[in-house]
Amino acid sequence: MRYYSTNKQSDKVDFREATIRGQAPDKGLYFPEQVPQLDKGFLKQLKSKTKTEIAFEVIRPYVGDSIAEADLFQICEHTVNFDFPLVKVTDAISSLELYHGPTLAFKDVGARFMSRCLGHFSKNNKREITVLVATSGDTGSAVANGFLGVEGVKVVILYPSGKVSKIQELQLTTLGQNITALEVDGTFDDCQQMVKQAFTDAAVNEKIFMTSANSINVARWLPQQFYYFFALQQWKGEEAPVISVPSGNFGNICAGLIAAVSGLPVKHFVAACNSNDAFVKYLEGGKFAAQQAVATISNAMDVGNPSNFVRVLELFNHDFEKIKSFISAFRIDDAETRNTIARVFKQDNYLLDPHGAVGFAALKKYLERYPSEKGLFLETAHPVKFENVVSESTGVAVPIPAAMQEILQHKKSSIRIKASYEELQNYLLK
Ligand SMILES: *Cc1c(COP(=O)(O)O)cnc(C)c1O
């Protein structure tokens, strides 16, 4: 399989090169030259397959010759070695819980897959790879956890001091081994700016081989398809489900769309958005206009200019009618999100996090129009990660899961630096 850049100014590359580079040199996103078609027999036997077998079968054509099959199978096994339960919430709506990974984030799957791929590629590399990443919280911990102990890869994470939650900070700063946390006296934007500057610094690039663990990386984007297969594996409806995806950068929903185009039976997709509604407006009017992001209680979806929008266009050859036939979109504001958390807890005894609540509310709106259909939404975060909002809405404290209890016992270890590029440069060059 070869990947072209959506800006069409860079050379085509294989999976290995696309993973190592992250973004194409022309600043486009890599996109597969063809969407592979799934074997009908595989779909028929979905229910009897293991999670690893499904993951392997789905990702193999995208990886091509870049990784030998036995190695890829092991990578898949490691990537999906936790649960993805589909839980019934109401008669018509189920929840696919994606928060049972090591950092309770749905981004665990992409981060685990990408880290093992990079580790594999660096085996034949003489030079160690340094993954440099700025985080406002969740992405950093999923990436750090994914890369922990991977040989030939070093991870340097920048996070804004005092601006991540206590649990998030412990998730970043207590791992040790090949993970270093730089605690920056500044904001997330400062961290991101410093990382960007490092990538363009000739002196640093000469000394160390760097890559980013950005969410646009194909090795983080494509394995998100697995969720949709795990959903279908557990689906008991006669007809294919409507699937609602809480969306920010649109990487997750775009992975679902590519799975559907390759043959997975999905009735329709719902893009569940918070007040950052550029995509909702696009579907209403056919024109896309980037927005300034606004802050909401589902903050992992606070994106005004979704980076994977261009992949959605590419997948459907920029055909607006076709896109509309696959996807509907709804905007759910904070008040409605809080009401949804409260109502679903009271009526259905199910605890939603704010992101899942946007997914639930959007799906409910869609099913009001099409009452004979049934669906599921992706629950992308554990409610405990948004304990304030959730307990305020329900009036009940969120129990802390065992995995989080444990981390509270660990001691933080970080290197404190000022929000100046010089300090990062010094650290990288030393
Ligand atoms: C990242 C994230 C999302 C949004 O996913 P995209 O692929 O960016 O659309 C939704 N919910 C949670 C909890 C997230 O961390």
- pLDDT tens digits, one per residue of 229-246: 999 999 999 999 999 999
Q: Is residue 338 part of a domain?
A: yes
Does the pLDDT value for residue 99 go beyond 80? yes
Atom of ligand 1 nearest to the CA of 353: 13
Query: Would you say the pTM of this structure is higher than 0.95?
Result: no
pLDDT of residue 240: 97
Coil, helix or strand at residue 416? strand
Q: Is residue 147 part of a domain?
A: no
Q: 194 with 182: CB under 8 angstroms?
A: no
Does the pLDDT value for residue 423 go beyond 90? yes
Burial of 405 (0-12, 13-18, 19+ CB in 10 A): exposed
Instruction: Give the closest residue (by CA) to ligand 1 atom 1.
Output: 300
Does the pLDDT value for residue 412 go beyond 80? yes
Q: Is residue 417 part of a domain?
A: no
Identify the active-site residue in 12, 47, 88, 107: 107
Give the CATH number of the domain where residue 94 resides: 3.40.50.1100
pLDDT of residue 293: 86
Q: From the CA atom positions of the chain, what is the Rg in Å?
A: 21
CA distances from 304 to 270, 280, 288, 292, 416 (A): 18, 11, 11, 5, 31
Confidence of residue 385 (pLDDT cuts 50, 70, 90): confident
Ligand 1 pocket test: pick from 355, 379, 384, 385 the residue with the most ligand atoms within 8 Å of its Cβ. Answer: 355
Q: How many helices (H) and strands (E) does the chain have?
A: 20, 14
Q: Is residue 352 part of a domain?
A: yes
Instruction: Give the closest residue (by CA) to ligand 1 atom 2.
Output: 300
Q: 9 with 199: CB under 8 angstroms?
A: no
Query: What's the domain count of the chain?
Result: 1
Q: How far apart are CA 54 and CA 77, in angstroms?
A: 10
Q: Is residue 6 part of a domain?
A: no
Q: Is residue 25 part of a domain?
A: no
Strands 13-14, 2-5: pairing kind: antiparallel
Q: How far apart are CA 371 and CA 145, in angstroms?
A: 42
N- to C-terminal Cα distance for the chain? 39
Q: 3 with 31: CB under 8 angstroms?
A: yes
Does the pLDDT value for residue 79 go beyond 80? yes
Does the pLDDT value for residue 100 go beyond 80? yes
Instruction: Give the closest residue (by CA) to ligand 1 atom 8.
Output: 249
Q: Is residue 300 part of a domain?
A: yes
Atom of ligand 1 nearest to the CA of 224: 7
Does the pLDDT value for residue 206 go beyond 90? yes
pLDDT of residue 115: 93
Which residue carries 């992706």 as its tokens?
A: 378
CA distances from 164 to 188, 196, 274, 354, 390 (A): 10, 21, 21, 18, 18
Q: Is residue 271 part of a domain?
A: yes
Residue 78, token pair as written in the block: 């490691």
Return the DSSP state at 10: S
Q: What is the pLDDT of residues 269-302, one digit of tens each?
A: 999 999 999 999 999 998 999 998 898 999 889 9
Q: Percentage of the chain with pLDDT > 70?
A: 100
On average, the pLDDT of the chain sits at 94
Residue-number span of the structural domain to which 354 is assigned: 83-106+221-399
